[in-house]
C-alpha cells in the first residue's frame, strides 16, 4: 500500500480578491506550505482602467486594500506561517497574476472562485481564471466556494 503525501511546492502565489474565498485559500496554502517550508506570496491586483495612468494614485481605496492584505497575513500567522503581501496595479488581473508567478518562479498559483450566477442562471467563471489557466507557467489551483444553501 502506498502512502499519500500532501502536494508540496517551493513558492506559491495566492491571488487575493477581497472576498470570503481569500481566507480559505490562504489557510489551505499556508497549511500545505508548512511541512516543506514553502514560500507564500499573497497578491492583490487593483485593476486600473484605460482612462487612467497605470501609476494612478489609488489612495482612496488604500484602507480597503490594506485590510485585504492584513487579513491574509493574519490568516497565515494563525497557521504559524509568514506570507509576503503584495499589491499590484495593472490593466488586467489575469496577466498581472501570470507575470507575478513567472517573475517569482512560482510552482503554484492559487485563485478562489466565488459561486456566482449571471442573469439567466448560468454559472459565471469570469475572464481572469480562463486567462490564468491558459497562460500560467506553473500548476494552477482554482478553489471554488461552496454553493450557497438553497441554490443547489
Quick check: 97 and 140 in contact, CB under 8 A? no
Superfamily of domain 11-144: HUPs (3.40.50.620)
Q: Which residue has the higher pLDDT, 16 or 152?
A: 16
Distance CA 36, CA 17 (A): 26
Distance CA 98, CA 93 (A): 9
Burial class (CB in 10 A: 0-12, 13-18, 19+), 83: buried
Q: Where are the domains of the chain?
A: 11-144
Question: Computed from CA positions of residues 72, 79, 81, 32, in that sequence, does the dihedral angle turn out positive or negative?
Answer: negative
- Given this model, what pLDDT does residue 30 score? 94
pLDDT in tens, 97-117: 999 999 999 999 999 988 776
Distance CA 73, CA 77 (A): 6
Q: Percentage of the chain surpassing pLDDT 90?
A: 58
pLDDT in tens, 36-54: 889 999 999 988 877 777 7
pLDDT in tens, 55-101: 777 655 678 888 999 999 999 999 899 899 999 989 999 999 999 99
Q: Collapsing DSSP states into helix, strand and coil, what is residue 109?
A: strand
Amino acid at each position: 500500500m502506498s502512502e499519500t503525501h500532501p502536494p508540496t511546492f517551493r513558492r506559491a502565489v495566492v491571488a487575493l480578491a477581497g472576498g470570503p474565498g481569500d481566507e480559505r485559500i490562504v489557510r489551505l496554502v499556508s497549511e500545505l506550505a508548512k511541512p516543506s517550508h514553502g514560500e507564500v506570496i499573497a497578491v492583490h491586483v487593483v485593476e486600473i482602467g484605460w482612462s487612467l495612468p497605470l501609476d494612478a494614485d489609488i489612495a482612496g481605496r488604500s484602507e480597503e486594500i490594506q485590510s485585504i492584505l492584513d487579513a491574509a497575513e493574519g490568516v497565515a500567522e494563525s497557521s504559524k506561517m509568514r506570507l509576503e503581501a503584495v499589491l499590484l496595479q495593472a490593466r488586467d488581473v489575469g496577466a498581472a497574476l501570470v507575470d507575478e508567478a513567472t517573475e517569482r518562479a512560482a510552482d503554484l498559483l492559487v485563485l478562489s472562485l466565488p459561486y456566482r450566477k449571471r442573469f439567466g442562471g448560468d454559472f459565471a467563471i469570469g475572464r481572469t481564471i480562463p486567462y490564468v489557466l491558459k497562460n500560467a507557467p506553473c500548476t494552477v489551483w482554482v478553489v471554488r466556494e461552496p454553493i450557497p444553501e438553497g441554490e443547489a
